[in-house]
Amino acid sequence: MKDLRNMSKQQIINFVEALGEKPFRGKQVYEWVIKGVSQFEEMANLPNALRQKLSEVAILDNYKIIQQLKAKDGTIKVLGALKDGNLVESVFMTYKHGHSACISTQVGCKMKCSFCASTLNGIVRSLTAGEYLGQVYALQKLTGHRIDNVVLMGSGEPLDNYEESVRFIKMVTDEDGLNLSGRSITLSTCGLVPEIYKLADEKFAITLAISLHNPFQEERMEIMPISKRYPIKELLKAVEYYAEKTGRRVTFEYALIAGVNDTELHAEQLGSLLRGKLVHVNLIPVNAVEEKAFKPSQNDQINRFKTILLDKYRINTTVRRELGSDINAACGQLRNSHLKSE
């Protein structure tokens, strides 16, 4: 069975032609696919015979929401089932600049970052670009809002699924598709250096976000094993290359963990590493995870950290507004709870 959401416009046209139909029928099918329909019966301008034929050889609904939690601030966390029964999470968030979807790129994750719930059960498999899109369509249908921004920051490492992540970016920015601006897409990585170089050469207009979380190499290796393979010095060289190639400012995500990485010494080291670079630092109070011992830093400590970066090192720094804190909206938490209940 072909997943129509995983196909380009031309691929769908070719597929429908191979069924004995005219090219314009393929264009009609594609138009319905990008509207996010989940049943062939919804394709109102297609003959019944073609709808029946498509239902026998293709699928549409590759991501079905099975559970949802809504926060007081309007954030919606959903758990969705893929066609093979695997579960992934997606989050709908509303900001001043529009509606955002944070989507998963893998079922689970193998990066083993010690503060993240996504890694608890390891990795099962990577998603297809069509399954990325399935999450976006599902959130649009659920909320009735067009998704304006997409963040590849859910469960999984997008650059560990490089080809599908790149294919998704091309599909979602296609003017014949959802037609999102590259600037409205953020890709978050824990720091796969070779893939950062490759992504830079794609020359997308997207935002690259680096999950740093500690500016000291030895300490970062303890909480982020990927740093053993790609040390901070190598990561920063790749980031500089990315900024030069794309002209885009790079975001550094820094999860503040009480007593672990939130001291003034850490702020000073981070500032000295990033001073003068085309970067932005996003400070994030770490999400408390039941299976982990880490706790978020207190507000006064967060503000001290921010002040050092802003005032002393002149680095653009913000503190991420916490959304969905009352529904455990962090990556992996809902899926893990569901798996434990089973």
Write out the catalytic residue numbers: 89, 331
Report in angstroms the alpha-carbon separations of 165 from 151, 201, 315: 11, 14, 29
How many Cβ atoms sit within 10 Å of the Cβ of residue 227?
A: 24
Question: 136, 178 in Cβ contact below 8 A?
Answer: yes
Provide the angle, in degrees to the nearest 10, between the axes of the packed helices 23-34 and 9-18.
130
Look at the block and give the residue holding tokens 């691929």: 11
Contacts of 167 (CB under 8 A, 6+ apart): 129
Give the Cα separation of 176 and 93 in Å (integer). 25
User: What are the backbone angles phi and psi of residue 324, rounded to the nearest 5°?
Assistant: 70, 25
Q: What are phi and psi of 80, to 5 degrees?
A: -125, 150
Residue 160: closest CA among 127, 116, 119: 127
Identify whether the C-beta of residue 157 lies closer than 8 Å to the C-beta of residue 190.
Answer: yes
